[in-house]
Amino acid sequence: MGLFSQFDAQSLKNAAPRPLADRMRPETLEDFTGQEHILAPGKPLRRQIEGDKVASVILWGPPGAGKTTLARIIAKRTHGDFIPFSAVTSGIKEIKAVMADAERAAQYGRRTILFVDEIHRFNKAQQDAFLPYMERGDIILIGATTENPSFEVNSALLSRSKVYVLKPLSTEQISALLKRALSDSEHGLGASRVEISDDLLRQIAVYSGGDARAAYNTLESAVSAAPASGEGAGVVTEAMVESAISRKILLYDKSGEQHFNLISALHKSVRNSDPDAALYWLARMIESGEDGLYIARRLIRMASEDIGLADPQALQLCVAAMQAVHFVGMPEGNLALAEAAIYLSLAPKSNALYTAYADVQTDIAATEADPVPLHLRNAVTPLMKKEGYGEGYQYAHDLPDRVADMQCLPDSLAGREYYHPVNEGLEAQFRARLAELRGRRNG
């Protein structure tokens, strides 16, 4: 009998109301949402849970992804002693006491499954205390952590455990959970008889950032603010949701028209060298909960499409912004994205790279896939040399001006010009250099 089951039904009934997130916690794998990559039928972890053969595991994932819920599902299915343990409130004294109990239980053929929440909070010495008991099989350890186990869990413990990575829940998955909570009269908010639009539910899901617990808390707070109605259902308004999340609601659909309209506005503001508008549309997307890495990818595209070689530094800065967002996450990465957007707006503009590549694509689609001219091929065998590979090739570095009078395009495209740099930024220098080079070859 584990601590999760030590209270009888009557005591639980008389206890203070539990938060919505706890009341809606699924009790079976069939009701569990998300993490299909490790819990879909046939996956190893699911088979272990269903067969009550769980080995030591580390569950690594963000808050609200289901780590504790998985532990509770295991607790209900195991025939051993399931002991929950928090690294926030426990120390080495408590660890030793639990280990002593587990050792005694093992002598009577009873196994102990120990769930350690926030295991990264234990220092390495405290983590070491589990090792001899894991080694002897006295305990099966289930650790939950929001931090990278590679850095926060000692290597000896990791070598005895399997790490499973839990992913943030998607907006669609959280929206479905919220709808379920609204319709569930036994555990959820069905008895409250309130109405809330799908758009507002989706916004709660967006702002939760993949955290189901945060989404439930927001919904519960918003519903509690809805006025009771004598006849009809109360209505949760946008203002109530804004109050629950302590920020203004910006209706936004990450996969709908608003998503595409705002990124279009950002791109066109950058292209038009308007940093104020670019910053505004960027902030609209960030504050609406858009994925920072998506924005970074779009900025990288803008750097190549609208600036190109007029300022090659633009691409480097955008890649750095992407790395910053990946490293520090959101919302802390917002300033890196803002820095990139303003730089792109103020940078000299050129679409010469974009149009050059488009022209090449057109020619590739419209012409034969001509073979590489023989003089540009490497003669790596005597036979290839005999067949004329490399014959007539001129090594540019052997020439006084480092430019050979040699055709490098196929005959069908001889003389074709794709790249036409503009007279802006660094491309002004490229323009002059290219005119000189083309003049030599055509002369």
Q: Give the ranges where 246-291 is alpha helix by DSSP (H).
A: 257-271, 275-287
CA distance 252 to 288: 6
% helix, strand, coil for the chain, step of 5: 55, 5, 35
Which residue in this structure is represented by tokens 């290219």? 434
120 shares a domain with 35: yes
Distance CA 61, CA 75 (A): 20
Are 124 and 133 in contact by the 8 Å Cβ rule? The answer is no
Cα separation of 279 and 345, whole Å? 9
**Given this model, what pLDDT does residue 83 score?**
84
Classify residue 354: in a domain, yes or no.
no
109 - beta bridge partners?
none
Residue 12 resides in a domain? yes
Boundary residue ending a domain (117, 134, 165):
165
Q: Which of 220, 245, 270 is the last residue of a domain?
A: 245
Residues 12 and 148 in one domain: yes
- Asked whether residue 124 is domain-assigned, the answer is yes
- Domain closes at, from 245, 277, 311: 245
Give me the pLDDT at residue 423, please: 92
Distance CA 341, CA 339 (A): 6
Does the residue 279 lie in any domain?
yes
| pLDDT tens over the chain, length 443 residues | 444 444 454 554 555 678 999 999 998 999 999 999 999 999 999 999 999 888 899 999 988 899 999 988 988 888 778 888 877 777 777 777 888 888 888 888 788 888 898 898 888 888 888 888 888 888 889 999 988 898 888 888 999 999 999 998 988 999 999 999 999 988 988 888 888 998 889 888 888 878 899 899 999 988 888 876 555 567 888 888 888 876 655 555 555 567 788 899 999 999 999 999 999 999 988 887 788 999 999 999 999 999 999 999 999 999 999 999 999 988 889 999 999 999 999 999 999 999 999 999 999 998 888 899 999 999 999 999 999 999 999 999 988 888 888 889 998 898 889 999 999 999 999 999 888 888 877 76
Pair (11, 59) in one structural domain: yes
Whether 220 and 265 share a structural domain? no
Strand partners, 57: 142, 162
- pTM of the full structure: 0.58
Pairing of strands 139-145, 81-86: unpaired
Q: Is the dihedral of CA 413, 414, 419, 422 positive or negative?
A: negative
336 & 301 share domain:
yes
Q: Answer yes or no: is 357 within a domain.
A: no
Q: What is the number of structural domains in the chain?
A: 4
What residue numbers bound the domain in which 265 lies?
257-346
7 and 97 in a single domain? The answer is yes
Do 273 and 187 belong together in one domain?
no
Q: Is 81 helix (H, G, I), strand (E, B) or coil?
A: strand
Q: What is the CATH number of the domain that holds 188?
A: 1.10.8.60
In a domain, 285, yes or no: yes
Domain identity same for 82 and 119 = yes
64 shares its domain with 133: yes
Domain containing residue 432: CATH number: 1.10.3710
- Record the tokens describing residue 275, joined without a space: 């940093």
The verdict on 88 and 26 lying in the same domain is yes
Backbone phi and psi for residue 216, each to the nearest 5 degrees, phi listed first? -60, -45
CATH code of residue 316: 1.20.272.10
| Radius of gyration for the alpha carbons in the chain, expressed in angstroms and rounded | 31
> Does 61 map to a domain?
yes
Please tell me whether residues 116 and 180 are part of one structural domain: no
Cα first-last separation, the chain: 92
pLDDT of res. 194: 86
CATH number of residue 62's parent domain:
3.40.50.300
- Residues 378, 397, single domain; the answer is yes
Residue 351 forms part of a structural domain: no
